[in-house]
């Protein structure tokens, strides 16, 4: 596959609808800009309505050919996830693209509305539930894709299946983060396996390399302060970091299960990568899937009704 893919390779997306989570800033805003810039109608799934409206106004003012619309979504609340999924299933006839982009990195210990450790709850379980709720729309749309944002940090991740929420061990912000990013890849591989080769929907993943966003700034730890000080000097732009996900979402040659990242791991043009060995453990993917269904109360139907 070409290592010279650029935004000029994005096909015309006119008539297609995409939902991008965490779309009001950083990678999500840049992904939305590229999709709308090539004609897609983009739904901005955001927790903060004020920031979402500001982002929508910014994109609209740029005169992009694709319209953008705001949709309320708080991934730390399964009720909010359910509300959006029900609304879209009721209003939309199809959904071409779901980009599970929103995430938290190395935040202080906290719990979601449903009692999950915050990083696993938002980065994985919230997106698991959202994907489950939107699969009827995706499966009704030939050529649809689910693209989930992981991280090169997944390579340091380990799944603590006996203590996913760090209830019995000390909370380590980076350990929780890398676990959640490993979960993103295990989920993607298992979703694509369950969809099967003849499904109208494919599951793919991406990572942004080292990109300058506000991720990692939210916590109060020393490492958060270090990231805030050094990231602007040693990272590529959010626009560059968004391209692996955009390629996964739009490249006609992309295949189910593919994982895209920068050519030089931290930076560079988007290319197909190989996930870590732990991310390719199918038994772990099945175990995570079963636990995710149990924790969220969602039984995921991966075949058209």
Report, as residue numbers or ranges, the catalytic residues: 177
List phi, psi (to 5°) of 31. Answer: -60, -45
Long-range contact set of residues 296-301: C-beta below 8 Å, sequence gap at least 24? 296/78, 296/125, 296/128, 296/129, 296/132, 297/78, 298/128, 298/129, 298/132, 298/133, 299/132, 300/128, 300/131, 300/132, 300/135, 300/194, 301/135, 301/136
Q: Using N-to-C axis directions, what is the helix angle for 238-250 and 26-37, rounded to 10°?
A: 50
CB-based contact 148:198 (threshold 8 Å): no
The dihedral region occupied by 240, where left means phi > 0, alpha psi between -120 and 50, and beta the remainder, is alpha
Residue pair 31/25 in contact by the 8 Å Cβ criterion: no
106: DSSP letter: S
């Amino acid at each position: 596959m070409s290592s010279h893919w650029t935004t000029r390779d994005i096909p015309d997306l006119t008539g297609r609808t995409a939902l991008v989570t965490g779309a009001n800033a950083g990678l999500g805003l840049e992904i939305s800009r590229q999709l709308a810039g090539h004609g897609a109608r983009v739904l901005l799934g955001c927790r903060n309505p004020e920031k979402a409206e500001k982002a929508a106004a910014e994109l609209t003012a740029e005169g992009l050919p694709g319209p953008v619309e705001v949709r309320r979504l708080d991934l730390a609340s399964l009720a909010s996830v359910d509300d959006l999924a029900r609304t879209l299933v009721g209003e939309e006839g199809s959904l071409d693209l779901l980009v599970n982009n929103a995430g938290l990195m190395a935040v202080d210990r906290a719990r979601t509305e449903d009692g999950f450790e915050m990083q696993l709850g938002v980065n994985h379980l919230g997106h698991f539930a959202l994907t489950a709720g939107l699969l009827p729309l995706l499966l009704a749309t030939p050529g649809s894709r689910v693209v989930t944002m992981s991280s090169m940090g997944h390579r340091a991740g380990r799944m603590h299946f006996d203590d996913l929420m760090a209830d019995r061990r000390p909370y380590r912000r980076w350990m929780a983060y890398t676990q959640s990013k490993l979960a993103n890849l295990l989920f993607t591989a298992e979703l694509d396996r369950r969809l099967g080769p003849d499904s109208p929907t494919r599951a793919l993943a991406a990572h942004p390399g080292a990109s300058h966003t506000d991720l990692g700034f939210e916590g109060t730890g020393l490492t958060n302060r270090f990231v805030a000080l050094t990231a602007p000097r040693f990272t590529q732009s959010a626009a560059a970091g968004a391209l692996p996900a955009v390629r996964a979402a739009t490249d006609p040659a992309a295949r189910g299960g593919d994982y895209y990242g920068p050519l030089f791991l931290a930076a560079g043009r988007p290319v197909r990568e190989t996930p870590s060995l732990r991310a390719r453990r199918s038994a772990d993917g099945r175990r995570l899937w079963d636990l995710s269904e149990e924790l969220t109360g969602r039984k995921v139907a991966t075949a058209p009704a």
